[in-house]
Amino acid sequence: MAQESIQERLKHVRKQLAKTQQQMADVLGVLQSSYSQIEGTGKSDITVKHIITLAEQLNVNPNFILLGELPVFRRDAVGGMGLSTTDARTFEVHGDDMYPTLMHSDVVSCIQVKDYKNINDSHIYVLKLKDSAIIIGHLQPGFSGVYVIPENQKTAKTRLVEHGDISEIWEVKQRITAFLMQSKVV
């Protein structure tokens, strides 16, 4: 599958799901003719937003579409491991706090962490705060909260976020690099 084009992999996904081009266009919010060009000729580009929609709505592995990496469908999302639709989510990265691992405009696919005990300081997490702010970094549990440790110490410093300020914790499982989408799909 890795040697197939993005268009061929997209067609493979559509056939696996037993969907028509019109149904796929409806999912992506585009005209059927635009979808046909994305899948067929590559004259229309598939966007990061389209790939996120495929992941969220149809459980498609973004790395399969972009790189041909199996599995075709995400195991960590709905159906694969008994997660509900509220357990999987995507976030867009803003800023350079996690550079070089994550870059501005990357999109990360995450699963929700329900218990602080499941935090692994070698993984990357997204903290959603009660004031709607989003913080991305490595986490290290502390007595009164979690320490958020950025990779890029030039743009951000380690900080303590109190337990009471955190509304949700999400573990990053995959990323879609925006840089890949800047080249023309062939």
**Domain ranges, ordered by start, for the chain:** 6-74, 85-176
Give which of 76, 82, 162 is closest to 123, Cα–Cα: 76
The DSSP call for residue 119 is -
Yes or no: say if 170 and 109 are a contact pair by the CB < 8 Å rule. Answer: no
Class of domain 6-74 (CATH, top level): mainly alpha
CA atoms within 13 A on the CB side of 175: 21
H/E/C letters for each residue in 29-90?
A: CCCHHHHHHHHCCCCCCCCHHHHHHHHHHHCECHHHHHHCCCCCECCCCCCCCCCCHHHEEE
Closest by Cα among 137, 172, 130 to 157: 137
The reported pTM is 0.56
Take residue 86 and report the two structure tokens written for it: 């509220």
What is residue 77's predicted lDDT score, i.e. its pLDDT? 43
- At residue 21, the pLDDT reads 92
Helix (H) or strand (E) holding 7: helix 6-16
181 pLDDT band, cuts 50/70/90, is very low
Q: Over range 20-28, report the average pLDDT.
A: 92
Instruction: Provide the 3-class DSSP secondary structure of residue 4.
Output: coil
Strand 124-129, strand 107-113: pairing: unpaired
- Write the CA distances from 136 to 113, 129, 144, integer angstroms: 14, 11, 19
pLDDT tens for residues 65-122?
Answer: 887 877 888 754 443 333 344 567 788 888 888 888 888 888 888 888 887 778 888 8
Q: How far apart, in Å, are the Cα atoms of 170 and each of 30, 47, 87, 124?
A: 30, 24, 9, 9
Instruction: Assess if CATH 3.40.50.620 describes domain 85-176.
Output: no
Cα–Cα distance between 167 and 163 in angstroms, integer? Answer: 9
pLDDT reported for residue 160: 94
